[in-house]
Structure 1
Amino acid sequence: MSALRLATCTYQEFAPHMGTPVRTTYGHPRFALPYQLGGHAQLITPTRDLLRIKAQDAYEFSYRRLLNGNGLENVQRELGAIAGANDLDAPLVLLCFDRLDRLTPPDDWCHRLHFGRWYAEQTGQEVPELGARRAAPPLTLFDV
C-alpha cells in the first residue's frame, strides 16, 4: 500500500482545496457543511465513553488503547478505502469540531492531535494540522 497522505482540521476551517474531508467524530455536524464528506473513519472515531473523559492523559491512554486494538493495518485499510473512493491524489483531511485556537490550557487538545501523534509513531509519517492553532505566548526577558 502506498503511503496515505493525511492531515487534520476542523469542520469549520476546512476548505475543499485542502483535500478530501473525512469525518472522525462520534456525531454528525449539527450545522450545514458547504462541502460533501468523503467518508467516515470509524476506526479512529472516539467512542461515547471516551468523550466522557476530561483529563487529557487519561483520554489519550484510552484513545491509544482503542487505536492499538483496532490495529494500524486496519486503520490504514479503512483510510485507504476512503481515499480510493475519492481523489487518490488528494490528502485525507480528518475532521473534528475542536478549534485549537479557541482552546485554553489544559484543554488545548483533541483526539485528532492524539491520532496524529500515534500515526506518526507507528509509521514515521507526520500528520499536519491545517486549522488555526493557539499562538504561543510572547517571550519575556526571563525566557531569553
Structure 2
Amino acid sequence: MLTLFTNRYQAFQPPQGVPVRITLSAPRFKLPYPLQHAVRELAPRREYFTKPLPEFTAAYRADLDEVGPGRIAERLRAIVNAEQDHRLVLLCFEDLSDAAQWCHRRIFAAWWKDLTGDEVRELSPIADHYEQGTLM
C-alpha cells in the first residue's frame, strides 16, 4: 500500500507519516524531525523556477512523464518498505496558505492523480481551506 500526502517542511509533523524531500536541496534551517529520504526525480530543475507557471508546469510534467509513474512508485515503495509505513509526506518549501503561491508538490499531485487515479492530499492550509485527508 502507498498513501501519498504533500506538505511544507515547516508544517510537517511526524504523526503525519514519513517525511520525504522532493526539493533540489535540503532545508538550511533546523528541522524538529529527521529527514532521511529524498526522491530526486520529483525535484524540478533549477532553470524552471524562472519560468511562468504554465511553462514551469509543462516542463515539470514532461520530466515526470519521462521518469514515469512506475519508476516513481518503485522509489516511493522502497521508502515504505524501509520505514514500514505506507504514509509518505512529500515535502518542499512553499506556503500555500497565500493564495498567490503555487508549488511543484501540487503539480506532482495533479500529475499523479491523472496517471494513477490516486489522490495526493495536502496536509497544510491551501489559501482559505484545508484539504482534509485521513492519516490512517
CA offset digits 1:22-76 (Å, max 9, x no partner): 00001110100000114001111111122232x1111100000000011111111
Residue of structure 1 in register with 2:74 after alignment: 77
| Equivalent pair of 1:26/1:46 in contact (CA under 8 Å) | yes
Q: Which of residues 94, 98, 101 in structure 2 aligns to 1:98?
A: 94
State yes or no: 1:60 paired with 2:57.
yes
TM-score (norm 1): 0.85
Residue of structure 2 in register with 1:51 after alignment: 49
- What amino acid sits opposite 2:37 in the alignment? G
2: CA distance between counterparts of 1:69 and 1:103? 30
CA offset digits 1:4-29 (Å, max 9, x no partner): 10000000000001000000001110
| Residue-pair matches, total | 129
- What amino acid sits opposite 1:92 in the alignment? L
| Equivalent pair of 2:6/2:122 in contact (CA under 8 Å) | yes
1: CA distance between counterparts of 2:69 and 2:76? 10
Instruction: Look up the SS of the partner of 1:7 in the other structure.
Output: strand
| Equivalent pair of 1:24/1:42 in contact (CA under 8 Å) | yes
Q: What is the CA distance between 1:103 and its match in structure 2?
A: 4.7
Name stretches of at least 5 consecutive residues in structure 1 with no aligned partner: 137-144
TM-score (norm 2): 0.89
Name stretches of at least 5 consecutive residues in structure 2 with no aligned partner: 130-136
- Which structure has the larger Rg? 1
Instruction: Look up the SS of the partner of 1:35 in the other structure.
Output: coil
